Structure formats: C-alpha cells, structure tokens
Amino acid sequence: MKNITVLGATGSIGDSTLSVVALHPDKFNIFALSAHTNWQKMQTLCEKFQPKFVVMTDESAAEALSKVVSNNTEVLHGAEALNTIAAHDKTDYVMAAIVGSAGMASSLAGAKAGKRIMLASKESLVLAGDLFMQTVRDNNAELIPVDSEHSAIFQCLQSGKSGLSKIQLTASGGPFLYTPQKKLCAVTPDEACAHPNWSMGQKISTDSATMMNKGLEVIEAHYLFGLPAEKIDVVVHPQSIVHSSVYYADGSTLSQLGNPDMRSVISYALSYPNRIASGVEPLDLTNNPPLEFYAPDLDKFACLRQAFDALKQGGNAMGTLNAANEVAVEHFLNNKISFLDITKVIQHTLDTVQHTDISSLEAIIANDTTARETARAIIKKYA
C-alpha cells in the first residue's frame, strides 16, 4: 500500500489522479491533499478519501474547511504546510500538480525527502531545472513525468538512449490552429480556454492556445532527458493520439499512442515500472480520423519560439519567460490585455530583465519577483 499526497487536488490533474486511485484501493491510500481556496470541493474529497492531512494555502478557506471535516483529518494552511506534507515520513508518492511557480517549493521538498515525484507542474523544472535535478539525484528521489508528452518519451526510452538522435514533442495546436493570425487579436478568454482535445484549467488552456505550454515542455524535456535544444523538436498533431516520439541514428522512430486522457499517464506514474488499469478506453485507430502532422508556425505562435530562445540563452531567461507569461495570462483572462499582447509582454520583459546565471533557490525566487514586477509595469502600457 502506497501513501499518496496530491498537491493541487481540486484541479483537473487532481481529479484524474483521485479517479485512478479509487480504482485501486488495495494499492493506494490518499494520505494528504492540498488546494488553494476551493474548500467546498475539498470537503467532498475528504468525505470520500479520509486523508490524514489537508492543506488549504488560503487561510480563510482552511478555517471554513476545518469546521466541516471530521476529526480524523487535520487541516493546515499556508505554503510551508505544502512542504510539510510533501516531505512527510508517511508520504510515499507526491503528485505535484499545483499550477505555476507556486508548486516549485513543495516539489523540491518532496525531492529532498527522497519521494517519488510525479511531476505534473512543469514550472518546477522551468524555474529551477538544474537545482531540481541535482536534488533528485542527491536524495535518491524518483522523478516520473506526468505530462502526456514527457511520459511518452519516458516510456519510449525505457530501453535506453543508445543511438538517440532527437526527441519530438507533439502539440495539438490548440483552439486557434486554423485561425488566421490577424483574427487572434479579438479572441476572448472563453475561446482561448476551449481546447479541442483536453479538459484543463484556464491557465494551461491559454498556454496551449499560445503554444507557450509546448515551449515550457521543451524546457522541461531538456532537463528530464538531458538533451540540448537542438535535439528537441515540436510537431503539430491535431488529433492528440501520438503523444510524442523518439528518433534513433539507425532511422528508427518509436512513438507512444493513446486516447487523450491524463488518467493513462497518471496510472503509469503511480504503477511504474508496472502498468495498472486507468479507466481509459483502449485506442481504436479504425474509429479515429486520419493522423495529421504539421511544422509549427513560429510567427503565429511566437511563444514557442520565445521558449526555445530562452532555453538556448540559459541562466535566468527561462524563469523570466515563465514569470512574464504567468502575469500576462492572468491579465488576459481578466480582460485587461488582448490575446496577442501576451507575446508582446513576454518579449518586452525578456528584453528588460538583466540576464544572469542562477545557482540558488533564493536567486530563482528573486528573479521571479523581479520579472513579475517588470511584466506588470509593462502591462500598464497595454491595458
């Protein structure tokens, strides 16, 4: 029996994780859950899974929840409490699914404690890739990717990296794949969040619409698989059936296919190196449309180009990129800037924040703060 701590339990990854866990009560126990403000949904989860600990990072939400849960569940609050449950002696596996940079510290805490980190929050590697990977190695932690693309590559590389020439991440192209670039200035947050294949939260859905999500995945792949930008490729695949591919020097290509459902990836992370039922229907290629593949348009989806450029630049550029994107997306979702302004804010921030090398968590956090302040100041020119 493995004790699971789910960080970000009320989001879409949390939902899928708990769905898989519920199929295997003989294998997994929910030890701890976390969320930000949604205490009503957390109350329902507590009633079903009876966790030992719950963390609400919002204090008022924690206070409201503590009044309605049983005495068997201890309610904690604040960011530091996330670190506590991630590193707890009784935690075996950590599902790191807190969106954005807010999940970085708790993921690191779990890695320092030698846990299996099932990483769904790519920002931890985007912000602190070198530090994170070193922490995993130093503490004999396990790092299992939960992005569908990185899981696909992880699975394809189980036989090793001998003769590997490149990896290729697939991208759906999001809701605007076929929308002319000149019409993107008028799109609304609701349109940006209407992903054709995946059910996701607002932030990651917007990132998919700009293809920044794929850009962050390129950076994540660099750290996960130890490859330079030149050996990481992106191809647009609207059907989201081929999740990613690896290419070898002998001309062979290995790909992992499946229906677009995160429960497949999550079940693999939970059961690795074995496989268990996920609740996902098996793929039937005879009932699917033809599979299409296109080179990405880096003018239309400039965020992807910006991510490649930041990776090649190194240092704090990737953290600056992520911070500027988070601020810009937040303002877009609140109707403060236009969809096309997201790219402009990111580029202006990258051009403004001084480029430095980063080697400590304190420097990472300081750069994140500076980049966010810079992005907010730039946004005032667009708002």
Q: Can you give the pTM of this predicted structure?
A: 0.91
Range of the domain at 261: 147-178+196-298
Domain boundary among 278, 298, 318: 298
Is residue 33 located within the same domain as residue 152?
no
Q: Angle 298-311-197 (CA atoms, 0-180°, nearest 5)?
A: 50
Q: Could you tell me if 316 and 367 are in contact, meaning their C-beta atoms sit under 8 angstroms apart?
A: yes
Residue 346 counted as domain residue: no
Residue 305 counted as domain residue: no
Q: Is the pLDDT of residue 382 over 80?
A: no
Residue 307 counted as domain residue: no
Is residue 42 located within the same domain as residue 140?
yes
- 257: β partners: 242
Q: DSSP secondary-structure letter at 289?
A: P
Is residue 32 located within the same domain as residue 56?
yes
Number of domains in the chain: 2
Mean pLDDT across the stretch 173-179? 90
Is residue 271 located within the same domain as residue 222?
yes
Residue 230 burial (CB count, 10 A):
9
Q: Angle 302-308-310 (CA atoms, 0-180°, nearest 5)?
A: 100
Residue 106 counted as domain residue: yes
Type of residue numbered 26:
D
User: What are phi and psi for residue 329, nearest 5 degrees?
Assistant: -65, -40
pLDDT of residue 383: 63
CA distance 142 to 114: 7
Q: Could you read off the pLDDT of 312-348 as tens digits, one per residue?
A: 999 999 999 999 999 999 999 999 999 999 999 999 9
Residue 31 counted as domain residue: yes
Long-range contacts formed by 70-78: CB under 8 A, 24+ apart: 70/46, 73/46
Is residue 67 located within the same domain as residue 112?
yes
What percent of the chain clears pLDDT 90, i.e. is strictly above it? Answer: 84
Residue 158 counted as domain residue: yes
What percent of the chain clears pLDDT 70, i.e. is strictly above it? Answer: 98
Is residue 230 located within the same domain as residue 241?
yes
CA nearest neighbour of 31 among 64, 61, 78, 74: 74
Q: Could you read off the pLDDT of 138-150 as tens digits, one per residue?
A: 999 999 999 999 9
Residue 360 counted as domain residue: no
Q: Could you read off the pLDDT of 270-325 as tens digits, one per residue?
A: 999 999 999 999 999 999 889 999 999 999 999 999 999 999 999 999 999 999 99
CA distance 112 to 76: 21
Domain boundary among 270, 298, 326: 298
Is residue 117 located within the same domain as residue 8?
yes
Is residue 12 located within the same domain as residue 92?
yes
pLDDT of residue 122: 83
The domain that holds 114 is classified in CATH as 3.40.50.720
Is residue 228 located within the same domain as residue 254?
yes
Is residue 168 located within the same domain as residue 288?
yes
Is residue 92 located within the same domain as residue 204?
no
Report CA-CA distances (Å) from 115 to 81, 108, 123.
17, 10, 19
Is residue 26 located within the same domain as residue 135?
yes
Domain boundary among 264, 298, 332: 298
Residue 124: band (very low, low, confident or very high) from pLDDT cuts 50, 70, 90: confident
Task: Identify the helix (H) or strand (E) that includes residue 31.
Answer: strand 28-35
Mean pLDDT across the stretch 43-57? 96
Residue 322 counted as domain residue: no
